[in-house]
Chain A
Amino acid sequence: DIQMTQSPSSLSASVGDRVTITCRASQSIDNYLNWYQQKPGKAPKLLIYAASNLQSGVPSRFSGSGSGADFTLTIGSLQPEDFATYYCQQSYSTPHTFGQGTNLEIK
């Protein structure tokens, strides 16, 4: 299975900050990379698909980039509702493995 590694595992930031989360695959996955946001007690929500495509209804402060094995999720200006856990996922091969998650906390 393809291994996905996110960094950092946790991150403290303030409202208005710009933050970047990285995700690295154990092999090239072209652009088959997705990002999710999960809040406590809720199901994950798709934010970005195919590395850089914004899912319908997701604010434009979220953006994704990368291809091959290295990817980033950027939140342009943190809002209070953005504090959550973020996961990357590869959909290049089955099973569609996830990164271990990045917990974004309020500083």
Chain B
Amino acid sequence: EVHLVESGGGLVQPGGSLRLSCAASGFTFSSYVMSWVRQAPGKGLECVSVISASGGHTYYADSVKGRFTISRDNSKSTLYLQMNSLRVEDTAIYYCTKIKQKLVLHDGSDIWGQGTMVTVSS
């Protein structure tokens, strides 16, 4: 069965850093584009970052550009999100997602993790 399990969330002060991880299983991780989507409390969904299957191409929302870095280790089937200079407005549940088709960027997310909560507060 296909699974994504996020970890690394928690409480951090403004200006601090966190690194989220997403462990994948049940599919050939290295063949799929992956993304991070967040949801602030009571709000809608925001795609914050996308990474190609090889890891050679990365994309960011303007709201996190220059502060967040997406990466992946295909040998470990793990996706990461390094979050620096965190702001109160980064408080959200962060979901790891798998893009549906192999090697395709322009598709929906068919598998989602359970999410990990990030709270930025003093």
Contact = CB atoms under 8 A, between A and B. Distances in A.
Contacts of A43: 95, 112-115
Interface string A44-60: 11100110000100000
B45 A44 contact: yes
Interface residues of A, number: 24
Interface residues of B, number: 26
Interface stretch (A15-23, A72-80, A92-100): A92-100
Chain B contact residues: helix, strand, loop or mixed:
strand
Interface of B: 35, 37, 44-50, 59-62, 95, 99-100, 105-110, 112-115
A34 interface: yes
B50 A94 contact: yes
A100 B43 CA distance: 8
A34 B37 CA distance: 14
Contacts of A91: 99, 105-108
Given A91-B106, A92-B106, A98 B46 contact: yes
B108 A49 contact: yes
B62 A46 contact: no
A63 interface: no
